[in-house]
Chains A and B, each alone.
Chain A
Amino acid sequence: MVNKTKDFWVFVETNEDGTAKNVGIELLTPGRELADAQGGRLAAVVIGCNTDAAVSEANRHGADQIIVVDSEEYRKYTTDAYTIALVSLVEKYGPLSMMIGATNNGRDLGPRVACRLQTGLTADCTALAIDEATGKVAWTRPAFGGNLMATILCPEHYPQIGTVRPGVFKKGEETEEKAEIIREEIHVSADQIRTQVLEILKDMDDEKVDLENAEIIVSGGRGVGGPEGFEPVRALAKVLGATVGSSRAAVDAGWISHAHQVGQTGKTVAPKLYIACGISGAIQHQAGMSGSDCIVAINKDPDAPIFDIADYGIVGNLFEVLPILTEEIRKARA
């Protein structure tokens, strides 16, 4: 399709309570620069149910325009309803470019929308710029399990779309609300939604494993030695209010469920602090966590590759180190 404006859109995914997922607000930060460079407005697209909190948060983070689709059929994400809504907005307003947070839902929605619009999509980007030669968005993303980075352009199709990893960009400072708010009524009938949730199963170990939004993650790997080896890892996570992660080795050994896995075949995370306990740091694990602000590694093997990317590394036995570290933090916070 042909673009009608030079606007840059950020899709702001909502939770079932109508608040914004962090990544949507984070993307307004690079969105501001890219919209300015494109010479267009920065628009936030909010789809959900009872979305006032999400709309207000987008408004306080620099959006020039907020396009809102708010009704009951969008309370819980479905591929069919969200694709219909987002595609019809794009067709009506014709933005030049659009970013979608690379959450599970974002990566479900992105290809569906791009394909319906017959345009290009770059997945799971970690850096964004405007290409000097062409003026197009230069989408940079890892491939080959993080061994290679590729910069992708979508030169002749619109909108140019990319999904962008959570945690790569930080939420900007709050500013004055100035956005023009446009409300669109787009209704999807029940028979257009071809999937239904029949049952919700909570995680087996009865704790919420939201690695992607975690500020601190404490992960255990092969070095924990068994399922009970995760106890000191969990204890440290508890005092820090952190989420428990793991390497593939520990999941494959059956010591912890796959929901905890960080790495190429698990989750990609970017917390403020990542503590790797008994994890050697294979490239596949690094692919999932090297974007963390601060990395701490505790490993017996001084040559473990995790030390190459760690900000702080302890060569030592995690079963000796973790309880002392946990106790120090507990004392400091008491």
Chain B
Amino acid sequence: MSNPCYGRKRGYSRRAVLAQVGLGGVAATLGQLRGVRHAFAQDDGRPWYFLDDAEARWLAAACDTLIPEDEYPSASQAGVVDFIDFQLASDYGAGAGLYMDGPHQSGTPEQGYQFAFPPSDLFRNAIDALLQDDPPLTELDAEGRHEALRGLSESEDNLTDDIPAQAFFTELRTLTNQGYFADPIHLGNHDYAGWQMVGFPGAHAYYLSTVDDHNRHHPAPPMGVAHDRSGGSSLPRLIERGE
């Protein structure tokens, strides 16, 4: 890989990941998830928390179409699939912030989220439906993937009985974006890919002496909550597997 921001093969420490995540206050969630095993587990000892192999590949293809590689990493290279996997397995996926009491019925766009199920089901059911496409997204070339996602974003159809294509697309785009730019303690933004790209210095923020120093860019290399200069010690799994 050409970009020095990512792609360096590095050692892996499970403890380091847990320590990092712990700083973000989500260690408890992660703790409960220990022991969950998926298809990738036997390969690298690092199970997905929520996804299965096919779902992860579909997400990688989709996310990399939303945020493709250029001088900066693509979404999956920056750990976005790891991020989404972790989100779906934890509070966000379980709908912890949502009011889920019934009855459920569809509403106007102004009334917002009205699904009878939490985001983890939204992703699972939508991706499983999209995996039935022939040919599947993963087998299309870049242009084909772009067209497929454009179709998804503009479609007036439902993917399943109760999931409109656009609703899923919006949620997918939101999570992909979050994964590229959120603090690396959440497993995305690997090597601070997103922050390097825009020039955001991170969680360590003290600008009292520089705020009125007009027009001087302060290109501090990014530093996240966990104070890790390299932005996470674990490589995105798809890269580690050489995909």
Do chains A and B stick together as partners?
no
